[in-house]
Amino acid sequence: MQTLSVFKPSCPSFYKVYFDLTVMGSAEISESKESKITREWTDLSTMYVMLKYRKWQIKERKSTSLHVFHQKCTEDMNNELGINKTPTQIRDKVNNTRSSFHTILKQVKAGNFKWTQDKHASLTKTVYEFMLTHFDPSKEVPLEFVEQKLFSVTKAIKKQL
């Protein structure tokens, strides 16, 4: 008799595969319900993440690290909205959105900016106007206002799904 080894190829006749239809059916159901990690961002999902970030800035910045915020935001998006993003994607989205907003803000203040496209510096006009309301350095935004907007954005995202 031949000794099986991981270093020698073995004949397929040594193995037998059993299929259990009940298990396969449940796997298909769970696969259809799981959301996959996607790289696409809608305006509403961007607003959701930025509102969560703003809430963290106002309320939790001293008690919760930014790294923990990214992980918590990932969990919240998955649990509340069924949108699966990684903490790295959340971090990148926050950084890119803030950077683009400040770039456009500088151009507006210099007087050499005009919306000519749907997107400019990776921001849509809708997201820019939202950022202007919630992230303008010259304005102070109360936590209650952020929470109300977060509730309405969450409701709008759930309505789309």
Residue 143 placed within a domain: yes
Q: How far apart are CA 23 and CA 41, in angstroms?
A: 34
Higher per-residue pLDDT: 116 or 93: 93
Indicate the average pLDDT of the chain. 84
88 in a domain, yes or no?
yes
Please indicate, yes or no, if residue 61 is contained in any of the structural domains.
yes
Domain encompassing residue 63: 38-160
- The model's confidence at residue 91, banded by pLDDT at 50, 70 and 90, is very high
pLDDT at 18: 65
pLDDT digits (tens, 9 = 90+) for 40-68: 899 999 999 999 999 999 999 999 999 99
List pLDDT tens digits, range 111-121: 888 877 777 77
Residue 14 lies in a domain: no
What does the CA dihedral 145, 131, 94, 63 come to, rounded to 10 degrees?
Answer: -30
Confidence of residue 33 (pLDDT cuts 50, 70, 90): very low
- Please enumerate in sequence order all residues whose Cβ is within 8 A of that of 118, keeping only pairs 6 or more positions apart, or say none: 124, 125
Question: Is residue 67 situated within a structural domain?
Answer: yes
Instruction: Count other C-beta atoms under 10 Å from residue 100's C-beta.
Output: 18
- How many domains in the chain? 1
Question: Treating both helix axes as pointing N-terminal to C-terminal, what angle do 87-110 and 125-135 enclose, rounded to 10 degrees?
Answer: 90
Q: Phi/psi of residue 109, each to 5°?
A: -65, -30
Residue percentage of the chain with pLDDT more than 90: 54
Structural domain contains residue 21: no
**Predicted local distance difference test score (pLDDT) of residue 114:** 81
Residue 18 is assigned to a structural domain of this protein: no
Helix or strand run (H / E) with residue 120:
strand 119-120
Quick check: 141 and 134 in contact, CB under 8 A? Answer: yes
